[in-house]
Amino acid sequence: MKKILTLTFILVFLVAGVSFAQSGVAVKVTAEEGIILDGFSDEWETVMKSGKAMAAVEPLDVLLVSALWMQWDEGNLYFFVRVVDSALTAGNPLYFWECDTVELWIDGLNAKTEAFNINCGQFWVTPVGGGEDLSEPTIGRWGRGADALVVAGVQHPDLWNGPVLTGAVPGMEVAINVDDIGYTLEIKIAASAIGLEGLKVGDVIGFNYMTTNLEVGTAGWAAGKGGEPDACAVPVVWGEVTLIE
Ligand SMILES: [Ca+2]
């Protein structure tokens, strides 16, 4: 498995060096048993060989920090994320932006609004910081504006922040695998979690993802205005992902 992951890393680095694209595709799930959330890439090999990675590089466009692939079916979006980070540091997951983190920003209808609407969601994973010895991942969702979390979430300890969910996020499942390079995530987000009844070929979603590596900084795929995290919170600057067969 280690050799496969290393080869994958080299491949995505080459892809990332070609351009810093803000459009991508998600390929319909073809694995017979669906996507098994275990943090391993078995069901992603065909997608990876096609070279359709989205990548985040550090701000000087020098260092690849992560790559992401997407698949989908009628009820869910699936993400496989490779993160390069050999020093995972536990922090307070409620302050996930100060932790090693992967954040997914999804605008289910690609409405490109200035603020979140009912179809938007911000989801995150910290690879460590959970469990009794802080070695387990945590997941969460942060409510912003008029997204679907306004009613369900609890208020963040910082009053200027919106409602936040950690520990169990309806419609979100995550598996992680830590290795010598960093870690890999498999994430499932239900269409219902972003206010959609389902997904179909040709749908376009607004999308961004960001990774924070405490030793390197924060990098995003659709970096937005200057790559500042708060700017990335505005759906209008996100990229677009088209669902294809
Ligand atoms: Ca898997």
Q: How far is CA 215 from the centre of its chain?
A: 19
Determine which of 145-159, 166-180, 183-197 has the lowest per-residue pLDDT on average: 145-159
Distance (Å) from CA 72 to ligand 1 centroid: 14
Distance 60 CA to ligand 1 centre (A): 32
CA of 173 to the centre of ligand 1 (A): 12
**Cα-to-centroid distance, 47 and ligand 1 (Å):** 13
Residue 199 pLDDT: 98
CB under 8 Å to 18, separation ≥6 — which residues?
none
| Interval between CA 243 and ligand 1 midpoint (Å) | 20
pLDDT of residue 233: 76
Whether residue 182 has pLDDT greater than 90: yes
Distance 34 CA to ligand 1 centre (A): 9
Q: Report the chain's mean pLDDT, rounded to a whole number.
A: 83
How far, in Å, from the CA of 76 to the mean position of ligand 1?
15
Q: How far is the CA of 44 from the centre of ligand 1 (A)?
A: 8
Q: Which amino acid is at 159?
A: L
Ligand 1 mean position, distance from CA 39 (Å): 5
Q: How confident is the model at residue 50 (pLDDT cuts 50, 70, 90)?
A: confident
Whether 217 shows a pLDDT value over 90: the answer reads no
φ/ψ (deg, to 5) at 53: -85, 145
Report how far ligand 1's centroid is from the alpha carbon of 23 (Å). Answer: 24
62 alpha carbon – ligand 1 mean position (Å): 29
Strand 64-72 to 76-84 pairing: antiparallel
Neighbours of 48 (CB within 10 A): 20
Q: Spell out the domain ranges in the chain.
A: 2-16+23-244
Share of the chain above pLDDT 70, in %: 80
CATH topology of domain 2-16+23-244: Immunoglobulin-like (2.60.40)
Q: How far is the CA of 230 from the centre of ligand 1 (A)?
A: 32
CA of 83 to the centre of ligand 1 (A): 16
Of 11-25, 59-73, 178-192, which range is least confident?
11-25
Q: Are 35 and 78 in contact (CB under 8 A)?
A: yes
Residue 120: count of CB within 10 angstroms of its CB: 27
Where residue 42 falls among pLDDT bands split at 50, 70, 90? Answer: very high
Q: How far is Cα 228 from Cα 207, in angstroms, rounded to an integer?
A: 16
Would you list the DSSP string of the chain?
Answer: -HHHHHHHHHHHHHHHHH---SEEEEEEP--TT----SS--GGGHHHHHTT--EEEE-TTS--EEEEEEEEE-SSEEEEEEEEE-S------GGGGGGSSEEEEEEETT----SS--TTEEEEEEEEEEESTTS-EEEEEEE--TTSTTTTTSEE-SSTTS-EEEES--TTEEEEEEE-SSEEEEEEEEEGGGGT-S---TT-EEEEEEEEEETTTEEEESS--STT-HHHHTSGGG-EEEEEE-
Calculate Rg over the CA atoms of the chain. 16
Higher pLDDT, 98 or 151: 98
Q: Separation of 98 CA from ligand 1 center, angstroms?
A: 28
Token pair listed for 26: 């998600």
Q: How far apart are CA 155 and CA 3, in angstroms?
A: 44
Q: 245 CA distance to ligand 1 centroid (A)?
A: 20
Question: How confident is the model over 97-121, as a mean pLDDT?
Answer: 91
In angstroms, what is the span from residue 176 Cα to ligand 1's centroid? 10
Find the 40 Cα to ligand 1 centroid distance in Å.
4
Whether the Cβ atoms of residue 176 and residue 127 lie closer than 8 Å to each other: yes
Show the CA angle centred on residue 125, arms to residues 100 and 212, nearest 5°: 30
